């Protein structure tokens, strides 16, 4: 079954390359229905807004790491109040205090990869387990490491179809959609943060340069 599903995803990725984001997301919704989940970082609500115009019962998953900025939590709450979408907050097994007790304080400094795995990757993996496909807002323009992202592909580690409707979008495309549809935006994006992650590991900066600043780390491991 996985082989057939993978082949279907790769074929759709080729066919829908260059298609509007709404068409790409619409394909995923039509293909998988509530077997699709949308992961959201709550930097802005573009995907949630787009999804709400197609179908209202596909869940949006937000990983609540325990380290988020208050503005990010506020954005999640605003999205939940604005759209008739199921919002699922996925949490790590350990609280921040529990993690400190087991691994020592500031694990994000001593072992950022482990911290990201425990607080981001594993909670999302658990939340995505029931679904056959998932979508996210990753874009090629965000970093050199993302420049070859397919609009629809195969998530080998999770054994799921991965849909990136905004993969080909530029920053200008995002801004245009936000303005045209009055989309909720995390206030931090107007305060010098181009990319928003956990509070201890995020600084102001262009693109993703403010993430894990001063280290060689560029991704949390979710993608």
CATH number of domain containing 75 = 3.40.50.620
Beta bridge pairs of residue 202: 211
Asked, for residue 218, whether it belongs to a domain, the answer is: no
Asked, for residue 103, whether it belongs to a domain, the answer is: yes
Q: Tell me the pLDDT tens digit for each residue of 51-108.
A: 999 999 999 999 999 999 999 999 999 999 999 999 999 999 999 999 999 999 999 9
List 115, 198, 201, 220, catalytic entry: 220
Asked, for residue 214, whether it belongs to a domain, the answer is: no
Q: Tell me the pLDDT tens digit for each residue of 171-181.
A: 999 999 999 99
For residue 138, give its domain range: 2-201
Of the candidates 88, 90, 94, the residue with the CA atom closest to the CA atom of residue 118: 94
Asked, for residue 48, whether it belongs to a domain, the answer is: yes
DSSP letter at 103 equals: H
The confidence score (pLDDT) of residue 221 equals 66
Asked, for residue 20, whether it belongs to a domain, the answer is: yes
Residue 20 burial class via C-beta count within 10 angstroms: exposed 0-12, middle 13-18, buried 19 and up: exposed
Total-model pTM: 0.93
Q: Are the C-beta atoms of residues 84 and 59 closer than 8 Å to each other?
A: no
Q: Tell me the pLDDT tens digit for each residue of 10-23.
A: 999 999 999 999 99
The confidence score (pLDDT) of residue 217 equals 66
Of the candidates 113, 115, 91, the residue with the CA atom closest to the CA atom of residue 103: 115
Using the predicted structure, report yes or no on whether residue 210 has a pLDDT greater than 90.
Answer: no
Asked, for residue 164, whether it belongs to a domain, the answer is: yes
201 has catalytic annotation: no
Q: CA–CA separation, 79 vs 92, rounded Å?
A: 22
Asked, for residue 142, whether it belongs to a domain, the answer is: yes
The confidence score (pLDDT) of residue 203 equals 84
Look at the chain and report how many structural domains it folds into: 1
């Amino acid at each position: 079954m996985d082989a057939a599903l993978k082949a279907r995803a790769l074929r759709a990725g080729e066919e829908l390359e260059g298609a509007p984001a709404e068409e790409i997301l619409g394909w995923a919704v039509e293909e998988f229905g509530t077997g699709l989940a949308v992961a959201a970082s709550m930097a802005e609500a573009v995907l949630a807004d787009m999804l709400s115009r197609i179908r209202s019962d596909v869940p949006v998953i937000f990983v609540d790491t325990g380290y988020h900025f208050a503005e990010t939590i506020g954005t999640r709450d605003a999205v939940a109040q604005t759209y008739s979408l199921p919002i699922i907050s996925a949490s790590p097994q350990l609280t921040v205090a529990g993690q400190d007790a087991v691994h020592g304080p500031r694990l994000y400094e001593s072992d950022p990869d482990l911290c990201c795995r425990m607080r981001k990757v594993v909670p999302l993996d658990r939340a995505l387990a029931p679904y056959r496909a998932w979508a996210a807002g990753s874009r090629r323009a965000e970093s050199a490491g993302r420049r070859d992202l397919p609009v629809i592909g195969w998530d080998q580690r999770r054994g799921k179809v991965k849909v990136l409707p905004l993969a080909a979008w530029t920053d200008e495309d995002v801004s245009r959609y936000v303005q045209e549809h009055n989309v909720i935006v995390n206030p931090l994006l107007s305060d010098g943060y181009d990319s928003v992650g956990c509070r201890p590991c995020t600084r102001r900066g262009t693109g993703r340069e403010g993430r894990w600043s001063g280290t060689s780390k560029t991704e949390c491991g979710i993608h």
